[in-house]
Amino acid sequence: MFVLFEEAGKFLAGRILSEAESSVQVELDSGKRVKVKAANALLRFEKPAPAALIAAGQQLSEDIELDLAWEFASEDEFSFGDLARDYFSADPSKAASTEQQAAALFRLYDAPHYFRRAGKGRFKKAPPEILQQALLAIEKKKQVMAQISAWAEALGKGQCPDPVRDQLYKILFKPDKNSPEYKAVVEAARATHKAPLDLLQQAGAIASAYQFHWKRFLFENFPKGTGFPAVQAPAIKDELPLAQVQAFSIDDSSTTEIDDALSVQGLSSGTVTLGIHIAAPGLAVLPGSPVDALGRARLSTVYMPGYKLTMLPDEVVQSYTLQEGRNCPALSLYVTLDEATLAITGTTTVLELVPIASNLRHDKLDSVFTEEFFEKAVATPPADVAWGPELTFLHRLARHLKAQREVVRGKPENFNRPDYNFGLDNPSGKEPEGNETVSISIRKRGAPLDLIVAEAMILANSTWGEWLAEHGVPGIYRSQASLAPGVKVRMGTKALPHAGIGVKSYAWSTSPLRRYTDLVNQWQIIACVKNGRTAALAAPFKPRDTDLFSIISGFDGAYGAYNGFQAGIERYWTLKYIQQHALTELTATAFKDNLVRADDLPLVLPAAGAQGLPRGARVRIRLGAIDEITLDVAGTVIERLDAAVDEAAAEAVEEEDNESEMAAGPISIAVDMSDVASDTTASATAADS
């Protein structure tokens, strides 16, 4: 005696060896013995042989028309034997053959949309409306599968269907693996043995490398677009006194969000007062307001060569920016100093209207206010140069403050690697297309005007950070426990030391038009100005405020993504510069493994032959092919330019590696561009200024 049984969704048959009340011992054709539950033993038979029955039943089942079987089936629950008799036998009193029963069983199991399983070989036919829905779904699935095959075939032939093109960034970076567009790309990639990115690129899905990087960034960070809804900048209702100063800002010509300005009073009197004046949107833009919601959604301005996405709408920014010729609401820190020793004798923070006399611009004045200028000015103050005496004092103060911080740091800051300015032939100011002529100029780190602004901002951020802590008011701080390798800068609500900068605490507060953290800290500082020792009760954010931690978390992620995009798109323009100037060779400095850093461009790349070279070794490399999509380029060392490595230079290279090792390196299309190293002093001060 044989038995046909079901096990894990498969039908098997074998010889019955023994039976118990709840199970059957069966020997398969392979000789394997299995224990089968009695409920799963569906059909007993004497002939044909088990293998022959299954083969015959499967072949015969294909001839059963499901629509006809469904019509024949009883409205009540029935067995597969009942259906086989009704379908195959002309005489209802005669049972169907063993092969016919097996065929009915197989067909019923394969058609769950027609027949629902009731267990132990019994079934019940689906209601008509359910069956109709199921058949429509099956037909739709067939059409989708046909569409997938058609799209995959087109991709394989180098043609990109519009639906796939429209889903390009989703397919590559946030795929819905059940979508037909994604399945078509996978199918085509397997058929052509190509990586999905290569396949799509060859099929013309990526029309422009620049647009690929730009739209990918927008897809991941601005899925609803970059426009702002219509909002009106709220008016400042506070009655503010007019400051008796003449202030000036120092920014690039492209800067529209002028957050900070400086003033100097009392020169040659023995006691000098430095004013650090910060735009005060926090007086009008309140937590929870519509404008606040816009800032919190974006969290920071996004910078890139030739373009930027501001944190706040331009009409809002222009209401609070420190524009020359206006009396601007400001949060001012006044620092009193001994003019001879530069010792700080006192600080005070006030809210006021500050007359902005000038908006000075780096790119127009860096060539005037040089180190040589200030060296001569110390002996002979330049009375004929606008702002010459004030800037001369501020430069002297900045060098003094920097030296004090370096004592705390335990070692000097290195500014050996320059900053780079990118310029695009894009006079309209609209989004770049990616084919503009690019210029790259070198700007030495620690240039006098940079140093003046950076040190003033560090002084304000550290002073206000400590002031918040003294009032028991939480703020958003950046801290670094030590300068040991691997110790990163962290954000938190406690006033902890920042070893990289060399200050007791550091709370970003000087860019409230460009960074949301600074706006939050400004609200907290304003509460201290207005309420004094009771500020903790009046501040918008209280200690252990979960909303404050949420802001920190969101800002950390967004700021990293924005900086990662900026680094990647600057690399794009660097590679464009190489192509536009037909550069085939570069001088570079070895710094890690087989990586080298170009001496005159913001470019990191692997170079064959650099493996094993000491840090700081200078080499000449020949450039290979450029891939604008992966932003990759490789080189080959063709000449060693130095006989031995200067130890001081090597140490500087190593310290700079900790700052931003791969910010100018190639990016991977398969992962997020968010690998931005933590800030040391150089990157922190650059961001503030």
Assign 3-class secondary structure to 521-567.
HHHHHHHHHHHHHHHHHHCCCCCCCHHHHHHHHHHHHHHHHHHHHHH
Domain membership of residue 414 (yes or no) is no
Mean per-residue pLDDT, 84-93: 82
Domain membership of residue 528 (yes or no) is no
* pLDDT, position 568: 93
- Same domain for 101 and 43: yes
pLDDT tens profile 463-476: 999 999 999 999 99
Sequence-ordered list of residues with C-beta below 8 angstroms from that of 542, at least 6 positions apart, any chain: 474, 536
For residue 485, pLDDT beyond 60: yes
- Same domain for 35 and 103: yes
pLDDT tens profile 361-399: 988 888 888 888 988 887 777 778 889 999 999 999 999
Lowest mean pLDDT among 61-75, 80-94, 291-305, 472-486: 80-94
- Same domain for 572 and 680: yes
61 versus 138: which is more confidently predicted? 61
pLDDT tens profile 140-166: 989 999 999 999 999 999 999 999 999
Q: Is the dihedral of CA 326, 330, 336, 339 positive or negative?
A: negative
248 bridge partner residues: 262, 358
Under the banding of pLDDT at 50, 70 and 90, the label for residue 654 is: low
> What whole-number distance in Å separates Cα of residue 319 and Cα of residue 291?
12
Under the banding of pLDDT at 50, 70 and 90, the label for residue 686 is: very low
Q: Work out the mean pLDDT of the chain and round it to a whole number.
A: 89
Based on the structure, what is the number of domains in the chain? 3
* pLDDT, position 660: 41
Q: Are 81 and 127 in contact (CB under 8 A)?
A: no
- Same domain for 71 and 146: no
* pLDDT, position 255: 87
254 versus 504: which is more confidently predicted? 504
Under the banding of pLDDT at 50, 70 and 90, the label for residue 560 is: very high
Expressed as residue numbers, the domain containing 67 is 2-126
- Same domain for 86 and 187: no
For residue 548, pLDDT beyond 90: yes
* pLDDT, position 651: 55
* pLDDT, position 514: 95
- Same domain for 142 and 103: no
Looking at 207, 230, 252, the residue that finishes a domain is: 207
The share of the chain scoring above pLDDT 70, in percent, equals 93
Which tokens is 421 given? 């300015």
For residue 535, pLDDT beyond 50: yes
Mean per-residue pLDDT, 483-499: 92
Rg (CA), the chain: 37
Please report, for residues 125, 127, 278, 391, 424, the alpha-carbon distance to residue 365 in angstroms, rounded to integers and kept in the order given.
87, 84, 22, 12, 21
Looking at 167, 191, 207, the residue that finishes a domain is: 207
Strand (E) or helix (H) holding 646: none
Domain membership of residue 107 (yes or no) is yes
For residue 417, pLDDT beyond 90: no
* pLDDT, position 197: 87
- Same domain for 121 and 139: no
Domain membership of residue 52 (yes or no) is yes
Looking at 105, 126, 147, the residue that finishes a domain is: 126
- Same domain for 122 and 17: yes
- Same domain for 60 and 144: no
- Same domain for 149 and 76: no
Domain membership of residue 34 (yes or no) is yes
* pLDDT, position 678: 29
For residue 676, pLDDT beyond 80: no
* pLDDT, position 688: 38
